[in-house]
Amino acid sequence: MSTLLAVASRTPDWSPSIALIMVACNVLAILFAKFTVKNPNVGPAFPALSDITGLSLPALIGATCFGHILGAGVILGLTNMGTL
């Protein structure tokens, strides 16, 4: 059991800096999706953000999923480096 605990990574407590990192990663993922998604307007539109992002609801959900994966990696990486 002690070997398993030694391998487990430390996760940080929530703070405003972690929230800013997650928001920045999601914005970066939405910008990335805006320029790389082959058919960004296929599917139902999201009324509030479709004009701003140019993405349909499925494309926006996919971009934010990618943003959360990216954000979790950045947060865990910065935590393991000792920056957070």
Averages of pLDDT over each 10 residues, the chain, 84 residues = 63 89 95 87 73 81 95 91 84
Q: How many domains in the chain?
A: 1
pLDDT value at residue 64: 94
Residue 31 included in any domain: no
Enclosing domain of residue 76 = 46-84
With respect to residue 54, please indicate whether it lies within any of the assigned structural domains: yes
Q: CA separation (Å) from 77 to 31, 35, 36, 61, 68? A: 22, 26, 26, 24, 14
Residue 72: inside a domain: yes
Burial 34-72 (b: 16+ CB within 10 A, else e): beebeebeeeeebeeebeebbbbeebbeebbebbeebbe
Asked if residue 84 is part of any domain, the answer here is yes
pLDDT of residue 39: 80
The model's pTM: 0.79
Q: Is residue 26 part of a domain?
A: no
